[in-house]
Amino acid sequence: MTFRKTALVGASLVFLSAGCATIVNDSHIPLVVSFSDGSIGHCTFKNKRGVWQSEIPTTGVLIRRSDDALFYDCETKNGMASSGSIRSEMEGEKLAASVVFLDLGITDAITDMHRTYQGHIVLPVMTKEAAAQHAAARDEAAKKAAAEEAEARDNYY
């Protein structure tokens, strides 16, 4: 009888702890975004989980958590532009809890619920021409990285 109780308690802990960050975190996180010169404008944010648009400055545009960078393309009312990316970071304490509770972070890795972006972001602004060049270089680098990943995957099999 003692073995059954121990097994039941152990199984309960495993099921309750599955996806620790998935249970604790919301799927979307609020970002506070402003321009470095204090101007107002509009931004488009995107990652592999979706695309969001917001007026800037904002006190909390909701962005879906993801393990890839959050790309942004913005324009101020006076014609200046800003584009770039924000690195995705791991909430280590939540992932550590998943590992400790035997989930090994599998559920969180699938849902990206243990990932986050910097909460308050100040975007630099530049002329539209400089921003277009920056965005083109970023897109070219992303295409090159995707092609290298596809080639590595093809060579793996």
Structure tokens at 55: 């007026």
Structure confidence at residue 71 (pLDDT): 92
Structure confidence at residue 115 (pLDDT): 74
Residue 137 CA: distances (Å) to CA of 125, 132, 140, 142: 17, 9, 5, 9
Q: Residue 77 gets which letter from DSSP?
A: T
Structure confidence at residue 68 (pLDDT): 84
Residue ranges of the chain with per-residue pLDDT less than 70 = 1-25, 91-114, 157
Structure confidence at residue 4 (pLDDT): 61
Closest CA to 81 of 137, 138, 123, 45: 123
CA angle 128, 132, 138 (to 5 degrees): 145
Kindly list the domain boundaries of the chain, sorted by start residue: 2-149
Q: What is the pLDDT of residues 95-118, one digit of tens each?
A: 444 445 444 444 444 555 667 777
In the chain, what percentage of residues exceed pLDDT 70? 68
Structure confidence at residue 67 (pLDDT): 81
Farthest-apart Cα atoms in the chain, separation = 75
Q: Is 30 exposed, middle or buried (0-12, 13-18, 19+ CB in 10 A)?
A: middle
Structure tokens at 111: 């849902």
